[in-house]
Amino acid sequence: MNWSIIYSYQVEHNDGYRTFADSLAQIELAEQRGFGTALVSEHHLVENGYFPAPFVTLSAIAMKTRKIRIGSGIIILPLYDPLHVAEHGAVLDVISNGRFTLGVGQGYRQEEFDAFQIPLSDRPGRMRESVEAIRALWTQPKVNLQTKHFTYKDVMVRPKPKQQPAPPIWVAAKKKSAVRLAAQVGDAWFADPITSLKVLKERVADYKTALKESKKPTTNISFPLMREVYCAETDEKAWEEAREPMLYVYREYLQWGHMLDDDGNSVPPGDERALGLLRSRFIVGSPETCVKECLKYKNELGVTDFVMRMKFPGLPHERVLNSINLWADKVMPHVQ
């Protein structure tokens, strides 16, 4: 089992440096305690200062760490030219000595696509073409490619990535069509934190069917799953400390139409079911409760990598450190 820590950087205390400095200390502790990957997410045009530049942030993390892998979790790939992503990813892989994972997703916020002047309807096509272009740019001496959205003639990426043949590409997806696309073009399907266990089971079946159709292995495959996580000494203490910081994040998701019910349908803003649905999908509680929840996902879904957001706006730095230490001491040994 691999354990990953993921950050969505919402600026706290009107101090972006302090927000980031605290995260570096947390990631350094996670590296010392056996976590395998540190990921950084992305959004644009968010009033709270949500960091919009994962590659820049990851560069700083790469210089403060030595063993832990670094990666985007995720970038909104349709907003990018794949040549830029290939170049930035290759440089990150070189300066981190081969520790980079590229996580990509289609995105969903109309405001972001409008600002970058990309039609929201172009997402699936741009995703497929971009992943295929990035892999070609990483692995081929020169690339000649013409698709609906991109044209490259004798284009090269130098330096090449440290990892051979290329850094892994995780493709985030929720809908059946997107999960099938992840199977076709990605190295792993990166499952999101708000899809119910019932729907995840259906999507795992869809993913493996698409893998088989693409003549890819369907066993011994990587399966990263993101969950919202907080561990404290007791269940009551964990929920008391984490409830409001977690809800800060999910009020935004509800406003953006990103919340789904147990059957995969959108939950509208203000829906009374929201808190109960969230509690059933978070991994929050004592070490014993967290072990039980992790084993559920491992045994029922075949999860190989828990991607955990453990820091939320308003959650004090010291409590995050305590959660990381409890996880390493009392959860990880019982789930390996």
Where helices occur in the chain by DSSP H, the ranges are 16-32, 54-64, 82-95, 110-115, 123-139, 176-185, 197-213, 235-255, 274-281, 287-301, 317-326
CATH number at residue 190: 3.20.20.30
Contact 19, 322 (CB under 8 A): no
State what percent of residues in the chain have pLDDT above 90. 88
Domain that holds residue 10: 2-334
Cβ–Cβ < 8 Å for 336, 257: no
- What confidence score (pLDDT) does residue 257 get? 61
What's the whole-number average pLDDT of the chain? 94
Answer whether residue 59 shows pLDDT above 80: yes
Full-model pTM: 0.94
pLDDT tens digits, one per residue of 227-275: 999 999 999 999 999 999 998 887 776 666 666 777 777 777 666 666 6
Considering its fold, how many domains does the chain have in total? 1
At residue 281, the pLDDT reads: 85
User: What spatial distance separates the first Cα and last Cα of the chain, rounded to whole Å?
Assistant: 5
Contact present, 260 and 203 (Cβ < 8 Å): no
